[in-house]
A and B are shown apart, each in its own frame.
Chain A
Amino acid sequence: KNEVEQSPQNLTAQEGEFITINCSYSVGISALHWLQQHPGGGIVSLFMLSSGKKKHGRLIATINIQEKHSSLHITASHPRDSAVYICAVRQIGSSNTGKLIFGQGTTLQVKP
């Protein structure tokens, strides 16, 4: 079993829909990242959070440390949101290394 699991693996939505991508992890963490990757493109860091909730534009990320779970929400989705969304965690004890453990990614397609 992977240390970081994302669901769903693939998601198709209609433009305007509210989207939720989930991430569960099995290790103690000091931080969790949500990343975005367009096909053939680079990786953009959307959020880094260690507690609570963060909002940036139409994107909202939440984390529940006790339940070892995080969600990424996209409100009023748009075709340009189509991308792979990746959850990554920084494990406690990795503070000296900073290395991340990644989920497999969720491929989102938003249709017009």
Chain B
Amino acid sequence: NAGVMQNPRHLVRRRGQEARLRCSPMKGHSHVYWYRQLPEEGLKFMVYLQKENIIDESGMPKERFSAEFPKEGPSILRIQQVVRGDSAAYFCASSPGKVDYENYGYTFGSGTRLTVV
């Protein structure tokens, strides 16, 4: 079981380009969460998805950001027309359909570090 896989690990984009971040959840996990960690700041929730559904996107910026979790394939966080302020570490986590409080309900990926130049 490879755990939560995020790619790429590092991504450099010029201002105005698009960034696509991928997250493959752990086997058997059907819930995916995206979090952003801005430099010198704590982690902040962005969006929660299940297969083919966005459940909660209350943490997503209103413009340029979108997320999907298709029936097949990884979850994608897409940032259009990137700006310098988008530079951050983006983490994905996954959990089983029902969180088991006796075990770890969450597994995090290694993150994608986005740098906008």
Contact = CB atoms under 8 A, between A and B. Distances in A.
A98 B33 contact: yes
B33 A48 contact: no
A22 interface: no
B108 A103 contact: no
Contact of B107 (A31, A45, A99): A45
Nearest to A100: B45
A31 B55 contact: no
Interface string A1-37: 0000000000000000000000000000001010100
A86 interface: yes
Interface stretch (B63-71, B78-86, B98-106): B98-106
Nearest to B110: A42
A99 B108 contact: no
A10 to B, nearest CB: 13
B48 A45 contact: no
Contacts of B105: 31, 48, 98
Interface of A is mostly: strand
A96 interface: yes
Nearest to A87: B42
A97 interface: yes
A39 B42 CA distance: 14
A99 B101 contact: no
Nearest to B89: A40
Interface in B45-74: 45, 48, 55-56, 58-59
Given A98-B31, A104-B42, A42 B48 contact: no
B48 A98 contact: yes
Contact of A45 (B55, B101, B108, B111): B108
B33 A42 contact: no
5 cross-chain pairs, A with B, having the tightest CB-CB distances, nearest first = A42-B110, A43-B108, A97-B56, A99-B45, A102-B43
B109 interface: yes
Interface in A43-59: 43-45, 48-50
